[in-house]
Amino acid sequence: MKRFFDAYDAEASRYYDEVIAREGGARSHYEKLLRRFAMFSHEDVKTRREMANIFFRNQGITFTVYGLEEGIERIFPFDLIPRIIPSAEWSLIERGLTQRITALNLFLYDIYHTQKILRDKVIPAELVLGSPHFRREFVGVTPPLGIYVHVVGSDIIRDREGRYLVLEDNLRTPSGVSYMLQNRQAMKRAFPVLFSQYKVRPVEDYPQELLRTLQEASSSVPGDPNVVVLTPGIYNSAYFEHSFLARQMGVELTEGRDLVVNDNIVYKRTTRGLERVDVIYRRIDDAFLDPLCFRPDSKLGVAGLINAYRKGNVTLANAIGTGIADDKVIYSFVPKMIRYYLGEDPVLENVPTWLPGNPWEMKYILEHLGELVVKSANESGGYGMLVGPESTLEEQERFRELIVSNPRNYIAQPTISLSRHPSVLNDSELYGCHIDLRPYVLTGKKTTIVPGGLTRVALKRGSLVVNSSQGGGSKDTWVVDE
């Protein structure tokens, strides 16, 4: 009978394979997994895969695909083979992200207060002050504990040598954490024996940690602060996650229309009248939060919310204006921020980044469009991107014009061949798919990272784009103690 891993070709000379070392043979932390999978036939794996799929469907873990009359609900593709991170590597990631988020919070505080880093010319002032996400009107407004970003999802990749690099930071409303938790449930059901052979660190306490972080961020008087999750509603593609987190934390899931502001205090409308709200974990962008302050056509927001926030009567997590640090141009300065604010060398490096704003870098970018990845500074979800080696000449031409006409809005990076991980394609074939890692960082009085995160996998041959909107899926991520 054909065994499951028999036909796997790691192509380890060309890529960094997470499982198979370059010199051949499995990396030590994958040995038990390979031994276990060697006992499975393709049929066995298929059966377990169906078990997992039924679990996802029954739980209603779906995301909505747009553009069609009735939004279609799909299951977020799940790959059965877990990604394993040894604890030594994890502690590097943990230290690196803690350092990074600490610096980013200091940066945001600085930008919305004295702007010392701009006056010291570490970052060109026009890049920050000219960003569409810079909220001038919030200069001088201090959120509780001085924390701007309570929840961050940073995307980490590994290059050809296996070095961990930070690809981007999501500081607005990072999504996907519910999949981290659900993938773990599905794996435990599908592979109980394999799971018990590893000392996998638990991720299940994420909702408690999130709630603690949100409660700590409350500015209000003693007593249990009233926390709510604010969602755009059931037609939003991440609605499942919003309701999942609210349920797990045991707090109310609210829409904009459930909240009212009276005398700069935020209340929720209940069947017993109004109840005060202290902390809002909002999954709505800045621009839609308050029609009186930002987009007047927003139907998702709460009129008057911003004034209540300004008065310090309600905490928003994340705070307003964090999008400037999310900007990919500003991203390229994070290592400098770390040195500037903390006086330390960055534990995790950035991916090298060229900014077309500098004439010589612009020249380099335009000469090497075929090799580089060009990204728009403020898009997410894999949109507005040129992957040089996979692009046509027309596409390159289009981006050339875009970059020249608006250099501030683009960055370029070398095409990094993301590390690969054996994954099941089309139900049968084992193939080395490219992956990244999104750990979730929580910052209250201290910074906490639940060991693991969402490993996203590009479930298409050779594709480097892992976003769910572009055919990506996910894997369970095991941080293991040896």
Partner 1 sequence: MLSRVAESLFWMSRYVERAENTARFLDVNFNLLLDLNRITTVESPECWIALILVTSDRERFESAYGDYGAEPVTDYLVFNRQNPNSIISCIGMARENARSVIESISSEMWEQINNLYHYLQSATPQSVQNDPFSFYREIKNASHLFQGITDSTFPRSEGWDFMQVAKYLERADNTARLVDVKYHMLETTRQEHEEVVSRSVDIIEWMAVLKSCSALEAFRKRYLARIEPRSIMEFLILDRSFPRSINFSVCAAKEALWRLSGGSGGRSLNSADRLIGKMEAELSFTTMDDISDTGLHHYLERLERGIREVGEEAHLTYFASHTPEIEPFPDKDRNLPATRRKAEWREAQQQQQQAYCP
| Out of 163, 299, 363, 368, the residue judged to bind partner 1 by CB under 8 A | 299
- Give the residue, chosen from 358, 383, 398, 406, that forms a contact with partner 1 under the rule CB under 8 A: 383
199 part of the interface to partner 1, by CB under 8 A: no
Site string for partner 1, 233-262 (x = CB under 8 A): xxxxx-----xx-xx----xxxx-xx-x--
Does 396 help bind partner 1 (rule: CB under 8 A)? no
Is residue 367 classed as helix, strand or coil in its secondary structure? helix
Q: Which of residues 79-108 bind partner 1 (CB under 8 A)?
A: none
Query: Among residues 23 and 70, whose Cβ is nearest to partner 1?
Result: 70
361-365: Cβ within 8 A, 24+ apart: 361/412, 362/403, 362/404, 362/407, 365/403, 365/412
Q: Which of 162, 335, 384, 414 binds partner 1 (CB under 8 A)?
A: 384
Q: Can residue 399 be called a binding residue for partner 1 (CB under 8 A)?
A: no
The answer to whether 254 and 289 are in contact (CB under 8 A) is: no
- Comparing CB distances to partner 1, the nearer of 300 and 454 is 300
Give me the least distance between CB of 428 and partner 1, in Å please.
Answer: 28
* Residue 313 found at the interface with partner 1 (CB under 8 A): no
268 binds partner 1 (CB under 8 A): yes
First to last CA, the chain: 32
**Which residues, at least 6 apart from 113, have a Cβ–Cβ distance to it below 8 Å?**
139, 140, 142
The enclosing H or E element of 420 equals strand 420-425
- Residue 288 in the binding site for partner 1 (CB under 8 A): yes
Nearer Cβ to partner 1 (27/268): 268
Three-state helix/strand/coil letters over 129-142? HCCCCCCHHHCCCC
Scanning 32-40, 143-151, 375-383, 439-447 for contacts with partner 1 by CB under 8 A, the matching segment is: 375-383
Q: Least CB distance from residue 107 to partner 1, whole Å?
A: 24
Smallest distance, partner 1 to C-beta of residue 288, A: 6
Q: Which residue, 246 or 457, has its beta carbon nearer to partner 1?
A: 246
Tokens coding 77 = 């593709």
Binding-residue total with partner 1 (CB under 8 A): 44
Q: Which is nearer to partner 1, 120 or 297 (CB)?
A: 297
Instruction: Closer to partner 1 by CB, 291 or 432: give it.
Output: 291
Burial class (CB in 10 A: 0-12, 13-18, 19+), 365: buried
In the complex with partner 1, the residue whose CB is nearer, 2 or 272, is: 272
Q: What is the dihedral of CA 335, 338, 339, 345, to 10 degrees?
A: -70
User: Which residue lies nearer to partner 1 by CB, 273 or 359?
Assistant: 273
Calculate the dihedral angle through the C-alpha atoms of 108, 113, 114, 116, rounding to the nearest 10 degrees: 0
User: Does 273 engage in binding with partner 1 (CB under 8 A)?
Assistant: yes
| DSSP code, position 228 | E
- Report the site for partner 1 in 411-470 (rule: CB under 8 A): none
- Does residue number 271 form part of the binding site for partner 1 (CB under 8 A)? yes
The helix/strand/coil state of 349 is strand
Q: Are 403 and 374 in contact (CB under 8 A)?
A: yes
- Answer positive or negative: Cα dihedral of 63, 66, 70, 74: negative
Cβ proximity to partner 1, 254 vs 413, nearer residue: 254
Q: Which is nearer to partner 1, 176 or 422 (by Cβ)?
A: 176
C-alpha–C-alpha distance, residues 124 and 111, integer Å:
12
Nearest residue (CB) to partner 1, 159 versus 255: 255
| Segment holding 481, helix H or strand E | strand 472-481
Of 34, 51, 145, 274, the one binding partner 1 (CB under 8 A) is 274
318 binds partner 1 (CB under 8 A): no
Chain residues 52-81 in contact with partner 1, contact rule CB under 8 A: 58-60, 66, 71
269 near partner 1, judged by CB under 8 A: yes
Q: How far is CA 241 from CA 283, 390, 398, 464, in A?
A: 10, 33, 36, 25
Q: What are the distances in angstroms from CA 407 to CA 234, 392, 411?
A: 38, 21, 8
How far is residue 439's CA from residue 177's CA, in Å, rounded to a whole number? 9
Binding site for partner 1 (CB under 8 A): 58-60, 66, 71, 232-237, 243-244, 246-247, 252-255, 257-258, 260, 267-274, 284-285, 287-288, 297-300, 303, 379-381, 383-384
